[in-house]
Amino acid sequence: MMIDPLYSLSGFAVGMLVGMTGVGGGSLMTPLLILLFGINPATAVGTDLLYAAATKTGGSLVHGYARSIDWRVVRRLACGSVPATVVTLTVLSLLNLDGAAARSLITLILSIALFLTAIVLVFGGSIVAAYRARVSELEPKQTAVNTVLVGALLGILVTISSVGAGAIGVVALVILYPHLPMAKIVGSDIAHAVPLTLIAGIGHWMMGSVDWFIITSLLVGSLPGIFLGSYFAIRVPERALQLVLAATLFVVASRIAYDHATTAASIFTAFTRRAVP
């Protein structure tokens, strides 16, 4: 199978940023595939999901070796995300993924997820502090229930847009588990992302919205990129990177939202002209 150097270079750049910031690759790769390469949104999401499953597996092995995964948290998240993913895939299978309705749904959810990720990158610490100042620590049973609900929300977001399992998931776990070390929060979030992205990716593959050529080319570049990014992570100011990344995501989300609004307006105009005699 041939390797496209442009996809590999893009994978390397995204891998570097993921390694340095810890932000999920879906926040970067899916918009890149849509805006830069002109890939159909459904194919971009499905391709990125299986790409993410491969990269997250490597990260989970590292965290598992370091014993920085709380499997209780992973199980709770999966109890919500796996059923939500299956239901969401069922709904998507009823749509024509190449049609206007599916494209509109995916771009809308993608832009919302990107906006949320950008907000979390900038204000995540303030959000956590405000929550803890106003809400006392939850009972263990309520924490478990809320974790399942967070997993369900992530399952829906990730299945439709491939975005949400990174920054959004981490902040939710920081709020729910204030006494859990950050290393275990990150490790648990990454471990949970493996079955989530794998199941969602397989579902998209069964619906024909996965490009294996692109996945291979991306992995060739991203794996060394993640390694180098992790190496330089302690040598580059993390806050500065987060702010730059948040600004980039905000711009990208605005562009996708604008394209979505333009498409929706065109469809609405065409519909009204057809409906009016």
pTM equals 0.82
Query: Distance (Å, rounded) from C-alpha 246 to C-alpha 92?
Result: 29
Express each pLDDT in 199-247 by its tens digit.
999 999 999 889 999 989 988 888 888 777 766 655 666 666 667 777 7
- Location of structure tokens 């990177």: 241
**60 C-beta neighbours (distance < 10 Å), count:** 20
Mean per-residue pLDDT, 86-94? 91
- The pLDDT of residue 242 is 66
Run of H or E residues at 115:
helix 100-134
- The pLDDT of residue 22 is 60
- Most confident range, picked from 176-180, 181-185, 229-233, 246-250: 176-180
The yes-or-no verdict on residue 276 having pLDDT over 60 is: no
- Location of structure tokens 């995300």: 81
Express each pLDDT in 17-53 by its tens digit.
776 666 666 678 888 888 888 888 889 999 999 988 8
Q: Which of 263, 219, 269 is nearest to 106 (CA)?
A: 263
Query: Distance (Å, rounded) from C-alpha 252 to C-alpha 256?
Result: 6
Which residues contact residue 273 at a Cβ distance below 8 angstroms, ignoring those fewer than 6 apart? none
Mean pLDDT over each residue of the chain, to the nearest integer: 82
- The pLDDT of residue 146 is 93
Mean per-residue pLDDT, 187-192? 87
Query: 154-170 burial by CB neighbour count: b if 16+ within 10 A, else e?
Result: bbbbbbbbbbbbbbbbb
Tokens of 92: 């998507």
The yes-or-no verdict on residue 270 having pLDDT over 50 is: no
Query: Distance (Å, rounded) from C-alpha 31 to C-alpha 45?
Result: 9
Express each pLDDT in 96-129 by its tens digit.
777 777 788 888 888 888 888 888 878 888 888 8
The yes-or-no verdict on residue 137 having pLDDT over 80 is: no
Query: Distance (Å, rounded) from C-alpha 277 to C-alpha 274?
Result: 7
Residue pair 51/165 in contact (Cβ under 8 Å)? The answer is no
Query: Distance (Å, rounded) from C-alpha 241 to C-alpha 233?
Result: 10
Tokens of 154: 């992530």
Which residues contact residue 184 at a Cβ distance below 8 angstroms, ignoring those fewer than 6 apart? 68, 69, 70, 73
User: SS3 sequence, 39-107?
Assistant: CCHHHHHHHHHHHHHHHHHHHHHHHHHCCCCCHHHHHHHHHHHHHHHHHHHHHHHCCCCCCHHHHHHHH
Query: Distance (Å, rounded) from C-alpha 206 to C-alpha 204?
Result: 5
Exposed/middle/buried for residue 153 (C-beta within 10 Å: 0-12, 13-18, 19+):
middle
Q: Is the dihedral of CA 143, 127, 157, 173 positive or negative?
A: negative
